[in-house]
A and B are shown apart, each in its own frame.
Chain A
Amino acid sequence: MTSLNRRRRPARATTLLASVGLASLATTILPAFGADEPVKGGTLIYATDREPTCLDPHVDGDMPQVFIAQQYTDSLVSQDKDGKIGPWLAKSWTVSDDGKTYTFKLRDDVKFTNGEKFNAAALKANLDHIKNPATQSSTAGGYIQQYVKTETPDEFTAVVTLSKPYAAFLEVLAQGFLGIEAPSALARPRNENCETPVGTGPFKIIKWDRQSQIVLERNPDYNSAPPTAAHQGPAYLDQIIWKFIPEPSVRFASLASGDVDVIETVPPESEADAEKNPDLTLIIADRPGNPTNGAINTTRAPFDDIRVREAFVRSADISSALDSVFFGRYKRAPGPLSAATPFATPDFKNLYDYDPDRANALLDEAGWTEKDANGIRQKDGKPLTVHVPIGDFQGPAERSLWEQIQATAIGTGFDVQLEPLGFSEWLDRQATWNYDIIPEYWNTNTADVLRIVLSSEFLGAAGSGGYHQNASGFKNAEFDALVNKALETQDPEARRKLYYDAQKIVASNFLQVLTFPQSTRLGVYKTAKGVRLEPSLSVTTLYDAWVQK
């Protein structure tokens, strides 16, 4: 669901004469501006809120890393806005019948910015690097745990073997987190490659001043743009200054004054101002994956009872909460998959609708019939208390949102206890299942996210030190079978059907309080043109961008 909010047109002229005058004026001026022809050269200043801790997206794997990686790496395959996989550094590929062997034919004319050649050995080096435990890869590495080995029968053919069928493999390969880097650069110690990674992309990393900015320069030999790009050949910009401005009001003011050309994460309170300002344009797109939600802990009372889970979901007025916290700028998520995810369906949205009458009936039925002086329901002398740990890293908006949910849930007799915690303490509560609801989200470009956040495989493997991605503790054999079967077929229609059924099970088991889809929200000053969000994770790409200053 990509929505491109163009700036508002100037006030409409009220008299015919004025319109005619304006129209003729416009025709005379337009050619002088050269329409919107890309201009080569210049520097674009981009300001974001969060700084990566490593510029190599294989290591760890947090969103700020993929934003910078998208500028200097190419991926093996591309993904368009309909979720279709296309070529990129791989020209073509075949998948074996058992779904475990992928044979890639690679481009033979691509070089890394250090002069090294891209070939099958380079692909092998990258997949091995991502899989290597010493890389400390938690996103890219997590997505290819099925990877076994790569063989290179000739220089530009790579045969990749997986331990089990994994139809989401091509999808995750299209993410910037699995961007392709130069083998000799990857061979250096991790801290060096974090500082100055090397890709085949349209820009190259020149310098990183921590807590200040990253400088990137154009790769003059770039010849490997994906089919989703608006042009081919080298990028237009000479240079990108990638600044870190954590304070939202400062970031927005810097954009409004033209000190920076593009900002990421436009503060919600400034979006209306941005739309009114003729110098600014907003580019907003949802990210694919599991939307922001409160995962409901089904492993302990009171939410081990599905009636109590449904009652909570029904007693939370999400739409009103979003309107008040985000000034009407954020819409409710349509289901367990954000609309930008392949195979997402909005068909089960009404299961998440606000319905306090139904919530009250369900709670009565579940035996929570007593009420104390404050209207909190009780059963066997125990109050209906819901503990919700909220990390300080989740930001004030998320906190306000849950305060709103708290306020509507008390109407049906839930005592929602919001517990603000520091990062590590919050992680500890998550790891030890010590919560009734915990706010979370998962950005990824495949419906396979359902398996990660809700299947029994992700309840915390041995040796995972408390890590569990399935925060609701949901354990359902039918659901597990569906999401695993969806990995065994490459047929899109078969996958659609399986994921449809899987989404139905998730929605009707009331496992998450769905709030809003994660999104990328750029503010663009009039000096910057051609700024885009790539389709796989809605990440900024400045390859097609140019500046007019």
Chain B
Amino acid sequence: MSSVTVAAGPAAGLLSRSRIGSAGRRVLSRVLAAVLVLFASATVTFFALHLTPGDPVRAVLGGPTANPSPATIAATIAEFGLDQPPHVQYGLYMSRLASGNLGMSFSQRQPVIDVIAAQVGPTLQLMASAIVVAWVLALASVMATTRRHPLLQGLGSALETISAALPQFWLALVLLAIFAFGLRWFPPQGNQGALSLVLPTLALALPLAGFLAQVTRESLELALDQPFILSARTRGLSEGAVRWRHALRHAVLPGISLSAWAVGSLIGNAVLVEVIFSRQGLGRVLYQAVTRQDMPLTIGVTLLVTLVYILASAAADLLFVLVDPRLKAHRS
């Protein structure tokens, strides 16, 4: 949580020289940690791919119904650098990576950076809209039903449990059947225009909303039992003000942590949703890269996912402080 103070600092007022220094150190250590995590994820992915049985050359040269000449096989092995022992390949790959070169995809036959550039937009768009919609739905359910009429409370709680348990691919097919094929409100495929984002977003957001609502409901209940809520009520604050201004601040913290984790898991779930809705995106790219043992592309996408996850954690920490002023006070 070291970057937190840096970002929140200016809002807090004047900064002393020593505070800038300690803030700088925190940023530095956080950046170093991020680089270390990226390095580790590239290394683990590299050796994991090497340990899987199979041969990327066979996969790229057409698999079972192909007849490449021995000369073609040899040329391909040499082109991919697979004639070197694994530790030499690793050294070569890492030194190129250090200079910012992600290499050439084996299976897509274009630079990894181009593959990612073409597909990253739709995936980030889908992830962002899924997170936002999940939070809106979760808050709506929690704020409207927690500690209300027992029937209402039971209904909200049940809906949350059910949606948390929905498998994304099944949900995607049901949404398609009803809203795309049946009512024809939304296009069944593609990623052109805002309408095409609605169904894939819901397929990802509904289960996530269920999770977020479950943890938020629990902590909202705890918060509503706190003495400060009682004192707010005695000061004559309305129920709405008590809930939204006081209790919610406490209740959203676990959900924020969960969101950072959700960003990582959304990429995995995006594979199926992208295939079902014929959307462009990194999920499909990653799936194909792994099945073809396309080392440069797999590592490239993995690094990007790791980076997004690191940024999401940083953003979560930042939000923590914005939401909970006690943390800020504690730091200074």
Contacts and interface: CB of A to CB of B under 8 A. Distances in A.
Contacts of A244: 278
A4 B52 CA distance: 45
Interface stretch (B1-9, B15-23, B183-191, B240-248): B183-191
B110 A466 contact: no
B73 A467 contact: yes
B104 interface: yes
A469 interface: yes
Chain A at the B interface: SS class = mixed
Interface string B65-109: 111111111111101000000000000000000000000100111
Given A134-B75, A211-B284, A440-B64, A423 B292 contact: yes
B54 to A, nearest CB: 3
Interface residues on A, range: 35 or more
B307 interface: no
Nearest to B67: A142
B85 to A, nearest CB: 17
A143 interface: yes
Contacts of B285: 211
B62 interface: yes
Interface string A190-203: 11001100000000
Contacts of A61: 62, 66
Contacts of B77: 465
Interface residues of B, number: 59
B24 interface: no
A249 B278 CA distance: 12
Contact of B69 (A141, A243, A452): A141
Nearest to B57: A465
Contact of A53 (B109, B111, B184): B109
B62 A139 contact: yes
B67 A257 contact: no
B58 A431 contact: yes
B280 interface: yes
Contacts of B74: 133, 463
B60 interface: yes
Nearest to A295: B64
Interface stretch (B173-181, B226-234, B249-257): B173-181
Nearest to A208: B118
Nearest to A253: B181
Nearest to A190: B109
B115 interface: yes
B281 interface: yes
B55 interface: yes
A211 B278 CA distance: 8
A389 B65 CA distance: 16
Nearest to B59: A424
Given A253-B188, A424-B291, A465 B66 contact: no
Nearest to A134: B75
A250 B188 contact: yes
B190 A212 contact: yes
A445 interface: no
A393 B118 CA distance: 25
B119 interface: yes
A422 interface: yes
B109 A59 contact: yes
Nearest to B114: A191
A191 B110 CA distance: 5
B321 to A, nearest CB: 39
A254 B188 contact: yes
B54 A427 contact: yes
A425 B68 contact: no
B293 A138 contact: no
A461 B70 contact: yes
Nearest to B108: A53
5 nearest interchain CB pairs?
A: A424-B54, A142-B67, A463-B70, A133-B75, A138-B66
Interface of A: 53-54, 59-62, 133-139, 141-143, 145, 190-191, 194-195, 209-212, 243-247, 249-250, 253-254, 257, 259, 392-393, 422-425, 427-428, 430-431, 440-443, 452, 458, 461-467, 469, 471
Given A61-B66, A137-B68, A212-B280, 13 more contacts: A62-B62, A133-B76, A135-B72, A136-B61, A139-B67, A141-B68, A210-B118, A211-B285, A423-B291, A424-B56, A425-B52, A458-B67, A466-B55
25 contacts: A53-B108, A59-B109, A135-B72, A136-B60, A136-B72, A137-B72, A139-B66, A191-B111, A210-B118, A210-B119, A211-B274, A211-B280, A211-B284, A211-B285, A247-B278, A250-B189, A253-B181, A423-B291, A424-B53, A425-B54, A427-B55, A442-B65, A465-B57, A465-B58, A467-B68
